[in-house]
Amino acid sequence: MTAAVAKSHDPAPIQACAVSRDLWDFSLLAEDMEAVLGDAWCDLTFEEAGRFLRHARPRSVDYVVLALDSADETDAVLAQAASVVSAAKAQGVRVLLVAENLRPASLHGLLRAGADDFVPYPLPEGALREALARLDPAPAETAAPAAAIPGFVLPGTGLQMAALSHPVMSQRNAAVIAVHGMAGGVGATTFAVNLAWELANPEQKRKQVQTPPRVCLIDLDLQFGAIATYLDLPRRELIFELLSDTARMDAESFGQALMTYRDRLHVLTGPADMLPLDFLGTEDVLRLLDQARAQFDYVIIDMPQAVVAWTEAILNQVQGYYALVEMEMRSAQNSLRMIRALQAENLPVEKLHFVLNRAPKFTDFAGRGRVKRLAENLGIALEVQLCNGGAGVTSANDQAEVLAKAAPRAPLRREIQKLARAIAAQSRAVVG
């Protein structure tokens, strides 16, 4: 755009470059660039940007604003864009992505290549100015004391943001519990949700005045996570932003990504769109756990059914890894495979705690005999046996409520409540 190019008779230092296949496809971005930077910017194609950044050594350039849309999602264009990002980072130039209808995997690849931040297109009013301000290191250095305040939340983020109710307690070191269904439909998510709620709402005697523990429930099933559905919580784009660049995550950004259920349970829902399970790496998961453990007393993780590269990291970090099974062949075979896989990699199999869901009634002697044979054949102990919740569980899930609210007298709820008390007592004993 000629209006954006510096005048030849009075050259102005170029502070930013807008890079795209065709900037006419991002007319609103051009208007925002001119409003924020005046004449101190230029627009370049991918090829021009690559040559400019590699050979011109632009000392005055602070930002590269890389704009892409769905038409750019070819291997060749994405490779060019990644090359521009790498060239910019090599020169110490900060990179902002402006994305319109870009697939999560493509956006993630560019963030992995080194891009610092991204905003959606069309840009909301003032979004470009705010994004460039976030990338400017000078304000960040002067604002460091305020930003370091635990639990600091920007105004206008909504009442459901988890960090509003409590400051971050940096001295916390949460007990981490993972829940993994050994087959589809065994009730792992129902178990994780209700266990987290019971840990967050312990029974207290009338004379006791205690601060309830802080509990964080994390949905790491990036493809079919259902915790948001079970608790009627919105799936927000902020989750994808957090997971896309965990290296930049801090206590504030993690807290703002959380939602609260009934002002007691803090929840990191799954992303709005289906993501590949390798979207997260081991380091990403460990950063998430570090933030959660620093701010909460208990962290409950709902795992994907598949075993992924970062399953080992979770297994090594948790105090208990609850594997849910049922009295059927899929659960038995998958449990045996899981045990063999952990043993082959010399991983801590002893952290696996098998939970039998929909267990036979106490008076069903034939059924209890089958349970005993199952445990003997697998060489495991079915440490927890949960009754069949039946219609009560279905009704609670349909109402997007925990059992404590939808069916407080349900036998299944009492059994999960009993397990939560045992976990809390064990945690207190370890701390003590």
**For position 55, what pLDDT does the model report?**
66
For residue 330, give the H/E element and its range. helix 329-344
Q: Residue 237: count other Cβ atoms within 10 Å of its Cβ.
A: 11
Distances from the Cα of 66 to the Cαs of 96, 113, 130, 144, 155, in angstroms?
A: 6, 13, 16, 28, 29
**137 pLDDT more than 60:** no
The pLDDT score that the predictor gives to residue 365 is 86
Picking from 32, 39, 35, 45, the residue whose alpha carbon sits closest to that of residue 15 is 39
pLDDT band at 140 (very low <50, low <70, confident <90, very high): very low
When comparing pLDDT for 426 and 71, which is higher?
Answer: 71
- pLDDT category, 334, cuts 50, 70, 90? very high
Average pLDDT over residues 263-271: 95
pLDDT at 108 over 80: no
| Cα distance between residue 66 and residue 26, in whole Å | 11
| In contact, 305 and 277? CB cutoff 8 Å | no
Local confidence band at 247 (pLDDT 50, 70, 90 cut-offs): very high
Query: How far apart (Å, rounded) are the C-alpha atoms in residues 161 and 150?
Result: 14
Whole-number Å distance between alpha carbons of 19 and 126: 20
Structure tokens at 411: 């036998």
Of the ranges 318-332, 344-358, 380-394, which one carries the lowest mean pLDDT score?
A: 380-394
pLDDT band at 351 (very low <50, low <70, confident <90, very high): very high
By the 10 Å C-beta count (0-12 exposed, 13-18 middle, 19+ buried), 69 is classed as: middle
CB 71 within 8 A of CB 94: no
Q: 3-state SS string over 175-215?
A: EEEEEEECCCCCCHHHHHHHHHHHHHCCCCCCCCCCCCCCE
CA terminus-to-terminus distance, the chain: 68
The stretch 256-278 carries a mean pLDDT of 93
* pLDDT value, residue 31: 87
What proportion of the chain, given as a percentage, has pLDDT over 70? 85
Q: pLDDT at residue 202 above 50?
A: yes
Of all residues in the chain, the percent with pLDDT exceeding 90 is 49
Give the pLDDT confidence score for residue 209 in this predicted structure: 47
* pLDDT tens-place string over residues 148-189: 323 323 222 222 333 333 333 334 678 999 999 999 999 999
- What are the CA-CA distances from residue 174 to residues 167, 215, 296 (Å)? 15, 9, 5
Q: Is the pLDDT of residue 23 over 80?
A: yes
Q: How many CA atoms lie within 13 Å of 392's alpha carbon, on the beta-carbon side?
A: 18
DSSP state letter for 96: E
| pLDDT of res. 153 | 31
pLDDT tens digits, one per residue of 369-421: 999 999 999 999 998 999 988 888 888 888 889 999 998 888 999 999 999 98
Q: Which of 49-53, 94-98, 140-144, 373-377 has the lowest mean pLDDT?
A: 140-144
Range 258-283 average pLDDT: 93
| pLDDT on residue 168 | 36
Whether the predicted pLDDT of 85 surpasses 50: yes
Q: How many CB atoms lie within 10 A of CB 282?
A: 14
The backbone region for 185, taken as left when phi is positive above 0, alpha when psi lies in -120 to 50, beta otherwise, is left
Task: Give the torsion sign (CA, 423, 403, 231, 396).
Answer: positive
pLDDT at site 141: 36
Cβ pair 295, 214 in contact under 8 A: yes
